A and B are shown apart, each in its own frame.
Chain A
Amino acid sequence: MAAGFEGKLEGRYFVPESSFSHPASLEMRDGSLVVTIPETGQTHMPEFAELGDRLGNVPRKILFEDGSVFECPDNDAVDRAFHRELSFFSRMSRWEASWKFIVFACLATVAVVFGLYRYGLPVAANLAAWATPSGVVATIDRSTLDTVDRLVFKPSNLDEDEQERYRSVFAKLRSAAGLGDGDTRLLFRDGGKLGANAVALPGGTVILTDQLAQLAKHDDEIAGVLAHEIGHVTGRHSLRQVYRALGIGFMVAVILGDTSQLLDNIVSQLALLDTLSYSRKFENEADGTSVMIMNETGRNPLAFMDLIDRVFEEAGVENEQSGWLSTHPGNRERREEVIRRIDELPQ
């Protein structure tokens, strides 16, 4: 490595295993490196071990096999002496010091981060969601159901006839969405704290609460909500959401891993906002699926919006507009969007 050494370096020589150093010079004599200490007139011929990579203006260290070190502050001279001008890290040091390259690196970083966030992440989350074995998803479903059954839900009080009616509606919607018997199932629960609601779990389990069923005035209203939940199932929204959150966490860790914990904490909180806005996107997508399969099964695709309005009325919450903190779009916008989708349906 040190074979082609040329010229002479001035610096400091550290004796092995000691913090004592002398001003010294380093040069090549008869094929071996020689350290000369002018103060004492001594020379050493330690065997070369390693040359440290260049970094900023940090003094360069030349390490020897016996543990002694020659230190030289002149990085350019070291690169010349060892013919390292073209090594990767010496080039990188020159790039890092050049304004043009820094501007390029900034723009490239912004472009790559944006590209990964906008295009890479959804594609990766999608792939991961499709690649997740169904056995794994079923296990997630089971453990999630266990947890919510213990913490939120109570057994349903809907009578068997009503349950049977919704189940047959659900079966027709499911076939219209192109799903089989094993892909999704419908369960009934008393909503408890959750109240009037319907949920889709990652593995395709759809849960309808008694409270929502009681608020409905027509089967089409419930059918629309079920179709919406089937939309979450066909789109694998829950899994995609989980993978997206993981991906964002990973990106934040890579980008901010080296900075202070304080900043890392704040940005991790901000990343939650992304989850919220992305979940609005999924709600829109599920509405689209709902409109499509409701139309296909000959039901009124707008009916479920009446039910949703009634849910909010009942809870005494105004939800006309979508705030940037909400998981679902505002009701007025949402209704307009659903109407637009219905208008676009092929007659």
Chain B
Amino acid sequence: MPDPATENKIHEFSFSGNAREYFGIWIVNLLLSIITLGIYTAWAKVRRLRYFYGNTWLDGHNFEYHAKPVQILIGRIIAISLLIAYNVVAEFVPVLALVLLIPYLLGLPWLINKALQFNSRMTSYRNIRLGFVGSYGRALWVFIVLPLIVPFVAVTIGTAALFVFGSFQQAMGGAGMIVLPILGLLFLIGFLLFLPYISKQANSYLANGLRFGSSRFSAEIPLSALYRNLGFSMLPLLVIVALFVPVPIVMMMGLDAASDIAGVMAGIASFFVYLVLLVAYLAYSAGVRNIAFNATTIDGQHQLLSAVPRYGYAWVLVSNLFVSVITIGLMIPWAAVRTWKYLARHTAVRSATGLDRFTADQEAQGNVAAAEYLDIDGIDFGL
């Protein structure tokens, strides 16, 4: 019998940490990591995640991170040894390195599953651990085949288009230089058209594999919303680029190409383009998070809610970047707390039955070396 008081109640996430407190933890982590030539980074990682998880609250309870530092250290040593071994092979026997790429790509889905499993098993809420149940075939399709198909298709379309225009090219003679930018543009367009589909597949895989104790997460992510999100994230920025980038280029044409002013102009223009692409990417990922969360339920009774403002999120991250660089790193802890707080504030759970009726389940533990390998390689699923 549902309790009327808790029926369809919205529980908001909140973050109780603050930049001052985290600064102390961060600087001690940093100092000890450097003095121990990196060994302490395992302890640092655990303390950092325990701090962020432990200060994240939902319905009066906090999250927890459970990995043990020695575990993380062993995982890192294994991951780094493999990376070094691969790079040595690549240096001395480049052909073998290329051949090894195939088993690497075939092994990656397994690694990703084991890493997801480990990271979720190490997370708990109300004494109940999260879990992840993956499938090798799905992971291979979502994380390897799909992302490889996209550039392949884009390049094929691009090459076909070039063949059509090939006669023009020959007529124009030395204008062969134009091939590269056209190919690049077609590639970009092809990639953008596929991106929402990849986002759907990847997020469905993650959301449907996730467990909370014996409860299942499930998600039906709408593709049309993802395409709309792409439009909202890219369009305003394309307009800005179209309006402003020609200015320095036109000015440059009037100048001696080798002159300092032209160089500075080119620098400003490329910085601007980089910034605009970064903002578009951040806005897009905030939108994907919202769509994926809002489509996800636990046991069909508890719905995740996310309402992160696209450009608000981009602003937080870009300004964090500038502040961190300008203060030569001193504001890094402030930036980390700010981002986490911002995301927590825009996330909630709508629950029909209250959040205290979950039960635990026995599940596979995952693999710490897999998790650390993906961590070191910078592959992040941003759950």
Contact = CB atoms under 8 A, between A and B. Distances in A.
B276 interface: no
A238 interface: no
A301 to B, nearest CB: 33
A40 to B, nearest CB: 15
A58 B51 contact: yes
Contacts of B127: 14, 17-19, 21, 67-69
Contact of A55 (B47, B91, B376): B47
Nearest to B48: A258
Nearest to A20: B356
A142 to B, nearest CB: 9
B30 A255 contact: yes
B21 to A, nearest CB: 5
Contacts of B26: 258
B359 A18 contact: yes
Nearest to B125: A19
Nearest to B336: A259
Contacts of B357: 19-20
Interface in B244-297: 278
A57 B16 contact: yes
Interface stretch (A29-37, A107-115, A203-211, A335-343): A107-115
Nearest to B360: A17
B41 A254 contact: yes
Interface in A1-51: 14, 16-21
Contacts of A262: 278, 317, 321
B54 interface: yes
Contact of A140 (B21, B44, B91): B91
B296 to A, nearest CB: 18
B28 interface: yes
A105 B125 CA distance: 33
A56 B25 contact: yes
Nearest to B25: A96
A250 interface: yes
A315 interface: no
A92 interface: yes
Nearest to B282: A262
Contacts of A109: 27, 30-31, 34
By size class, the interface of chain B is: 35 or more
B231 interface: no
Interface in A164-186: none
A261 interface: yes
B27 A106 contact: yes
B91 A108 contact: no
Contacts of A250: 38
A257 interface: yes
A96 B24 contact: yes
Contact of B34 (A21, A255, A264): A255
A345 interface: no
A21 to B, nearest CB: 7
A98 B25 CA distance: 11
Contacts of B64: 61
A95 interface: yes
Interface of A: 14, 16-21, 55-59, 61, 67-69, 92, 95-98, 101-102, 105-106, 108-109, 112-113, 116, 139-140, 143, 250-251, 253-255, 257-264, 266
Given A17-B359, A21-B127, A261-B378, 17 more contacts: A18-B127, A19-B127, A19-B355, A56-B25, A56-B51, A61-B64, A98-B24, A105-B31, A140-B92, A254-B41, A258-B44, A259-B324, A259-B335, A260-B335, A261-B380, A263-B332, A264-B378
3 closest A-B pairs by CB:
A58-B54, A96-B24, A17-B360
26 contacts: A17-B359, A18-B128, A18-B359, A21-B126, A21-B127, A55-B47, A56-B54, A57-B21, A58-B55, A105-B27, A108-B31, A109-B30, A143-B92, A253-B38, A254-B34, A255-B33, A255-B329, A257-B376, A258-B44, A258-B48, A260-B336, A260-B339, A262-B278, A263-B325, A266-B321, A266-B325
